[in-house]
Copies of this chain bind each other. A is one copy, B any other.
Amino acid sequence: MNRYWSKQIEDLDPYVPGEQPRDQQYIKLNTNENPYPPSPSVADLLRNFEVARLRKYPDPESTDLVHAMAAYQGLNASQVFVGNGSDEVLAHAFQAFFRQDYPILFPDISYSFYPVYCKLYQIEYQQPALDAQFCINIRDYASTNGGIIIPNPNAPTGIALESGALRELLADNPESVVIIDEAYVDFGAESACPLIAEFPNLLVVQTFSKSRSMAGLRLGAAFGQENLIAALQRVKNSFNSYPVNILTSACALASLADEDYFQQCREQVIASRERLSIELQQLGFEVFPSSSNFVLVRHHRAAAAKLYDDLRSAGILVRHFKKARINNCLRISIGSDRECDALISALHKILA
């Protein structure tokens, strides 16, 4: 027992994010960042920002941002919650909804922060296994449970749920909150947001980190019926009343106002992914079908751990999870075409 610590702290199993090297010498394809900068309107905003505004606290309700996001999604403001990155939003959601009498469910291969939250909030969980092709079988989520969280598309597989599966999942679990974690949805999956009006048990979580190129800004959001949003507000206002700072709100509003740029970046990443997937297949990789800004790949003979090391030595960071079932896979973020070319060229040499 560590002196001074609360009992539970020693048992925590903190999340380890992908490396963020502090120098610029790596091609970073390891943390699913967008290769393109945020909208030029964000640059304009910062250049002209009236710095004296920082002396005041933010609006604790983030009213302007919440209204803009509601309008963007076709929801009411009372159906929108914002936080300091989707990680914070998810943390609050685990606390607000998942401390129940039954274990919650999420896939055995999924975002590795979920079990970390469970430890933090002392939540039991079970992990139905993905099938051999790393797909989620919705029927595995029909047992009595304290809640469900599923990323769509899933990470680190990149695979999206089949059409119709979401509705089935929600209808099968009317007494459970079902969180759909849509961190990567803008790269090709179908959002659950249109189902919010119909399902009081649906919470959708999104982020500005990926498709809006602002991982450094830390903005996440949740969408759901008012009753769920109210619970998140109660937790937030018991933790930190002002989670979203003034600059983050302003930058996010600027980004939301530039739909053309958003669509262009999205489409460019998708196009690069399709090209990269073909080139990786030509190099002997199995490429799981991705709806994300990354691909999960497995080489037919080269070991993933070795490939990871060799790529690192060649100045390219990818992600290798030392985890059952995927420990021979690599997760590769979609970079710019120049970065993808550098990856392919490095792999050519490594595999030669």
Contacts and interface: CB of A to CB of B under 8 A. Distances in A.
Interface stretch (A28-36, A70-78, A128-136, A188-196): A28-36
A229 B96 CA distance: 27
Contact of A55 (B8, B84, B214): B214
A43 B55 CA distance: 12
A284 interface: no
B218 A242 contact: yes
Interface stretch (A14-22, A161-169, A304-312, A320-328): A14-22
A209 interface: yes
Interface stretch (A137-145, A244-252, A338-346): A244-252
A234 to B, nearest CB: 5
B243 A84 contact: yes
A114 to B, nearest CB: 11
A38 B54 contact: yes
A20 B120 contact: no
A60 interface: yes
Given A96-B5, A213-B55, A246-B217, A238 B177 contact: no
Contact of A20 (B3, B47, B60): B60
A243 to B, nearest CB: 6
A58 B91 contact: no
A68 interface: no
16 contacts: A3-B200, A5-B96, A12-B235, A14-B236, A15-B238, A22-B64, A33-B56, A46-B247, A55-B215, A84-B84, A88-B239, A88-B243, A91-B239, A91-B240, A216-B245, A247-B248
Interface of A: 2-9, 12-17, 20, 22, 28, 31, 33-38, 42-43, 46-47, 49, 51-60, 63-64, 84-85, 87-88, 91, 95-100, 116-117, 119-120, 177, 200-201, 209, 213-218, 227-228, 231, 233-243, 245-248, 251
